[in-house]
């Protein structure tokens, strides 16, 4: 640990660190453009000049490139390095346009800050300025090349960190150009990170182009609600409109990066058709009326027909508080636990994982540090995109990535795939744990044995699955594998991708034993008379057998902020606040509780109330469309819990001991609280049913198009996959389907027309990617169903 002094402050840092990192540790700010915590040093901008007063090489040095040495004395205020930095700014500004007023970076621009800090006000250079043409980079990123300072942060982010290959640097000398070979949409699902890393206005967020200045934005530390990974985000809004989402630059949990779904999928909050008014039997009313009606009617039905007539539906996207209060309500009514997930298999898998020992549950940081990663029955890019990025960081450090999956799972790093029928994946996991591989064919066992050798040799292996893909049986095998492999010198961990930001807590709130049969019995008995859907859309997510019962209920109440099918059908509707419009907590896929703070109050954006023009010239103390309240607040009111959020949290902590510590979480400090493990449910006695014969249908989720929030964000429409059914080429030929032909897919009495496409799949498998609103998508993902695929004649 060399010790050095920087501007008179003494600091010790580990061997191999640079002066710049030591300065950060000492709290001395060294100006820089090209250095970035996650991307490292490059030495391109020369702004980080400091003077080494004492050390092996005295004089002006680049702080980001010079390793620290024992006894160094460094000054950032010395005249020689100060002059150098000032000159660097002046050179950079020589070609810079004169356009801060129309530049979206203005107000948070590093170049602007440095120009002011360097006292540069008048351009002394007399020559003409260099110009470039811009490119259309698609609907997310705006390009203004004249503003570029050639720091190479974008290329290092896009190509090195995110694994994209359609953006890079072109040209030579002072003409270097950062863009695509041809104009067009950036194809990486992590393209939005360019906005955060570019220190100038060259690459800016097109979805909020010219909408606001950063100093006018209301911002808060929040947690991304678009998947279970719980990335740290800082959303910003103004005039009751959510305008952008940026990554929290702090390293944990997501290393300061986001996926495009989490960054650009915020449009659901601003929709003109967002339901903002309470509705009672088709009649508009106030929220207070609707809350009173909900309590009275549910309690009335429970009194009259017994608590089993009440079905409460929890949700993976509602806050932990709202779900916990829903559980509490069920207890008070004497009703069965709420159903947190209508997909029974996924639900069962999540409940097992939610009770695994905390030491076995991998976080994103664990994945980034892993030396071997296995992806089994999971599609990280769709179900937890940042996990795919974490896998890439592991691969960049030399980790091998193996995929065991029937689908050609896309990743952003090199990976070796073993295609395996979906039902065989758990068996493969058992083989890796030392099983005999019964049921696996010889050509599978051979590569699997090779993977097992790698796994046994790895010191920090992480095995990644998904609740959907693995099911209860697979999750048991997954946990057995990592538990068996963990030794004092070896840290094997498992990650399970879950459907939403509260899934883990929901799975914990639910009883250990899945109540799938129980649910079927409850629905089948014809007893259900009241259904309360808490921020969930059962009509789009459950098969007809379930939705039929729900729709027939005497009371069908919905709390939501999205214009879903369920909201349209409900006979009692309560507008709830969106995730960025309330304080609350989510629980990530590794069981870490994280609190988030409110960004905006709910209300109709001024953009809509003014119809694009100025706000109406009338005054009223009420906020238009501002009736919505956080779901936890509505439920606390029903339960008679006072004291706002802290009152509700205190009550929740009392009722659910594993949520202890919820009240103490601070959003700004990004506190986290690890949920303890629990008693895992005993394995079921009965083996899984027989595999359906003939063609089987497998459904899975896309990056965009299924996750409920981003599916309601219009700007992401371009990322929606085609409505296709994928088959392997031999199967296509057998069915007489040419790639691109229209095919009718039928399963479980649902049918839909899709475009036939060839894909690298095991024989006998038809694969469909779900889209919210399509008929087949009401079947749960991950399970296999007998199906029929036939050519559809006619137009």
Q: Assess contact for 338 and 536: CB atoms under 8 A.
A: no
Give the Cβ contact number of residue 303 at 10 Å: 11
C-alpha–C-alpha distance, residues 752 and 543, integer Å: 14
Rule CB under 8 A: choose which of 1, 102, 714, 738 binds another protein: 102
Instruction: Tell me how far CA of residue 775 lies from CA of 543, 645, 694, 750, in angstroms.
Output: 9, 39, 22, 6
Q: Assess contact for 353 and 469: CB atoms under 8 A.
A: no
Instruction: Tell me how far CA of residue 310 lies from CA of 298, 539, 557, 565, 633, in angstroms.
Output: 7, 17, 11, 21, 21
Binds 242, which of ligand SF4, another protein, ligand FES, none (CB < 5 to 8 A, cut-off by type)? none
Question: Considering the complex, what minimum distance in angstroms separates the CB of residue 6 from ligand FES?
Answer: 15
Q: Rule CB under 6 A: say whether 264 interacts with ligand SF4.
A: no
C-alpha–C-alpha distance, residues 592 and 505, integer Å: 9
Give the Cβ contact number of residue 405 at 10 Å: 22
Question: Considering the complex, what minimum distance in angstroms separates the CB of residue 519 from ligand FES?
Answer: 58
Q: Rule CB under 6 A: say whether 61 interacts with ligand FES.
A: no
| Span 236-275, contacts to another protein by CB under 8 A | 239
C-alpha–C-alpha distance, residues 760 and 636, integer Å: 51
Rule CB under 6 A: choose which of 258, 418, 507, 645 binds ligand SF4: 258
Q: Rule CB under 6 A: say whether 33 interacts with ligand FES.
A: yes
Question: Considering the complex, what minimum distance in angstroms separates the CB of residue 200 from ligand FES?
Answer: 13
C-alpha–C-alpha distance, residues 41 and 156, integer Å: 10
Q: Rule CB under 6 A: say whether 148 interacts with ligand SF4.
A: yes
Question: Considering the complex, what minimum distance in angstroms separates the CB of residue 88 from ligand FES?
Answer: 9
In the DSSP assignment, the letter for residue 719 is G
DSSP assignment of 378-398 = --HHHH-HHHHHHHHHHHHTT
Question: Considering the complex, what minimum distance in angstroms separates the CB of residue 93 from another protein?
Answer: 12
| Inter-helix orientation angle 516-524/344-353, to 10° | 140
Q: Which residue's beta carbon is nearest to the bound ligand SF4?
A: 262
Residue 483 sits at the vertex; the CA angle it makes with 316 and 447, to the nearest 5 degrees, is 95
Give the Cβ contact number of residue 126 at 10 Å: 5
Q: Rule CB under 6 A: say whether 631 interacts with ligand SF4.
A: no
**Phi, psi of 586, rounded to the nearest 5 degrees:** -115, 170
Q: Rule CB under 6 A: say whether 458 interacts with ligand SF4.
A: no
C-alpha–C-alpha distance, residues 667 and 660, integer Å: 16
CA-based diameter of the chain, in Å? 87
Cα 459 versus chain centre, distance: 28
Q: Which of these segments, 51-59, 213-221, 442-450, 550-558, binds another protein (CB under 8 A)? A: 213-221
Q: Rule CB under 6 A: say whether 200 interacts with ligand SF4.
A: yes
Of 283 and 617, the one with the shorter C-beta distance to another protein is: 617
Binds 148, which of ligand FES, ligand SF4, another protein, none (CB < 5 to 8 A, cut-off by type)? ligand SF4
Q: Rule CB under 8 A: say whether 209 interacts with another protein.
A: yes
Question: Considering the complex, what minimum distance in angstroms separates the CB of residue 160 from ligand SF4?
Answer: 13
Question: Considering the complex, what minimum distance in angstroms separates the CB of residue 577 from another protein?
Answer: 24
Q: Which of these segments, 189-197, 479-487, 609-617, 726-734, binds another protein (CB under 8 A)? A: 609-617
Q: Assess contact for 586 and 230: CB atoms under 8 A.
A: yes
Binds 211, which of ligand FES, another protein, ligand SF4, none (CB < 5 to 8 A, cut-off by type)? another protein
Binds 224, which of another protein, ligand FES, ligand SF4, none (CB < 5 to 8 A, cut-off by type)? ligand SF4
Q: Which of these segments, 92-100, 371-379, 640-648, 698-706, binds ligand SF4 (CB under 6 A)? A: 92-100
Instruction: Tell me how far CA of residue 536 lies from CA of 523, 532, 625, 768, in angstroms.
Output: 18, 10, 21, 23
Using the structure block, give the residue that is written with the tokens 């939403």.
Answer: 500
Q: Rule CB under 6 A: say whether 226 interacts with ligand SF4.
A: yes
Binding positions for ligand FES, rule: CB under 6 A: 32-35, 41, 43-48, 62, 64
Binding positions for another protein, rule: CB under 8 A: 97-102, 106, 128-133, 144, 146, 170-173, 175-177, 179, 209-213, 215-216, 239, 606-607, 610, 612-615, 617
Binding positions for ligand SF4, rule: CB under 6 A: 96, 99-101, 103, 105-106, 109, 111-112, 147-154, 178, 197-203, 224, 226-227, 229-231, 254, 258-259, 261-262, 384-386
């Amino acid at each position: 640990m060399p010790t050095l002094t920087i501007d008179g402050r003494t600091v010790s840092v580990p061997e191999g660190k640079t002066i710049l990192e030591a300065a950060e540790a000492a709290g001395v700010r060294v100006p820089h453009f090209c250095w970035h915590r996650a991307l490292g040093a490059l030495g391109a901008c020369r702004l980080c000049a400091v003077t080494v007063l004492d050390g092996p090489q005295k004089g002006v040095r680049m702080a980001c490139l010079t390793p620290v040495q024992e006894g160094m004395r460094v000054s950032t205020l010395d005249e020689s390095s100060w002059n150098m930095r000032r000159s660097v700014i002046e050179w950079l500004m020589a070609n810079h346009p004169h356009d801060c007023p129309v530049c979206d970076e203005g107000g948070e621009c590093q170049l602007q800050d440095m120009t002011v800090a360097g006292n540069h006000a008048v351009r002394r250079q007399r020559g003409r300025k260099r110009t470039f043409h811009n490119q259309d980079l698609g609907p997310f990123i705006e390009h203004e090349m004249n503003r570029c300072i050639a720091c190479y942060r974008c290329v290092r982010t896009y190509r090195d960190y995110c694994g994209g290959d359609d953006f890079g640097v072109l040209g030579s000398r002072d003409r270097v150009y950062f863009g695509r070979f041809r104009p067009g949409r950036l194809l990486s699902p992590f393209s939005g990170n360019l906005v955060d890393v570019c220190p100038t206005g060259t690459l800016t967020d097109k979805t909020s182009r010219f909408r606001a200045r950063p100093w006018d934005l209301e911002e808060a530390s929040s947690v991304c609600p678009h998947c279970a990974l719980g990335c740290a985000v800082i959303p910003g809004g103004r005039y009751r409109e959510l305008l952008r989402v940026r990554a929290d630059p702090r390293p944990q949990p997501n290393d300061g990066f986001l996926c495009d779904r989490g960054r650009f999928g915020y449009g659901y909050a601003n929709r003109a058709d967002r339901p903002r008014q309470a509705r009672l039997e088709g009649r508009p009313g106030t929220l207070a009326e609707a809350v009173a009606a909900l309590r009275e009617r549910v309690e009335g039905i429970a009194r009259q027909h017994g608590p089993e007539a009440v079905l409460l539906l929890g949700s993976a996207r509602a806050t932990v508080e709202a779900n916990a209060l829903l559980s509490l309500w069920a207890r008070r009514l004497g009703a069965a636990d709420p159903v947190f997930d209508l997909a029974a298999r996924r639900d069962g898998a999540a409940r097992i994982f939610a009770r695994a020992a905390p030491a076995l549950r991998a976080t994103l940081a664990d994945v980034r540090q892993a030396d071997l990663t296995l992806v089994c029955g999971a599609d990280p890019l769709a179900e937890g995109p940042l996990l795919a990025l974490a896998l890439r960081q592991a691969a960049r450090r030399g980790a091998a990535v193996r995929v065991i999956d029937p689908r050609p799972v896309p990743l952003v790093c090199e990976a070796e795939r073993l295609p395996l029928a979906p039902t065989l994946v758990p068996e493969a996991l058992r083989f890796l744990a030392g099983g005999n591989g019964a049921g696996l064919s010889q050509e599978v066992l051979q590569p699997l044995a090779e993977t097992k050798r790698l796994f046994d040799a790895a010191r920090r292996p992480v095995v990644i699955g998904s609740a959907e893909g693995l099911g209860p049986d697979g999750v048991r095998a997954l946990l057995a594998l990592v538990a068996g492999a963990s030794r004092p010198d070896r840290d094997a961990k498992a990650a399970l991708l879950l459907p939403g930001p509260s899934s883990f807590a929901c799975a914990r709130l639910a009883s250990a034993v899945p109540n799938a049969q129980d649910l079927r019995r409850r629905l089948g008995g014809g007893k259900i008379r009241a259904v309360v859907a808490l921020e969930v859309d059962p009509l789009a997510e459950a098969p007809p057998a379930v939705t039929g019962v729900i729709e027939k209920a005497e009371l069908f109440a919905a709390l939501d902020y999205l214009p879903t099918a369920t909201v349209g059908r409900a006979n009692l509707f309560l507008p709830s606040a969106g995730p960025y419009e309330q304080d609350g907590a989510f629980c990530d896929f590794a069981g870490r509780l994280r609190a988030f703070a409110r960004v905006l109050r709910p209300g109709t954006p001024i953009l809509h109330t003014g119809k694009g023009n100025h706000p109406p010239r009338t005054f009223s103390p009420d906020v238009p469309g501002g009736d919505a309240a956080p779901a936890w607040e509505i439920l606390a009111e029903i339960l008679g819990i006072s004291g706002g959020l802290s009152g509700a949290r205190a009550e929740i902590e009392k009722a659910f001991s594993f949520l202890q510590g919820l009240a103490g979480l601070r959003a700004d400090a990004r506190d986290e609280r690890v949920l303890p493990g629990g008693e895992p449910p005993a394995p079921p006695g009965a083996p899984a049913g027989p595999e359906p014969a003939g063609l089987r249908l497998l459904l899975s989720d896309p990056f965009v198009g299924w996750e409920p929030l981003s599916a309601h964000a219009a700007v992401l429409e371009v990322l929606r996959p085609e409505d296709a059914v994928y088959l392997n080429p031999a199967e296509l030929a057998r069915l007489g389907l040419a790639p691109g032909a229209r095919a009718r897919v039928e399963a479980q009495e649902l049918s839909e027309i899709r475009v036939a496409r060839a894909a690298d799949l095991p024989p006998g498998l038809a694969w469909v990617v779900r889209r919210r609103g399509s008929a087949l998508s009401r079947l749960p993902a991950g399970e296999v169903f007998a199906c029929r695929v036939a050519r559809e004649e006619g137009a």
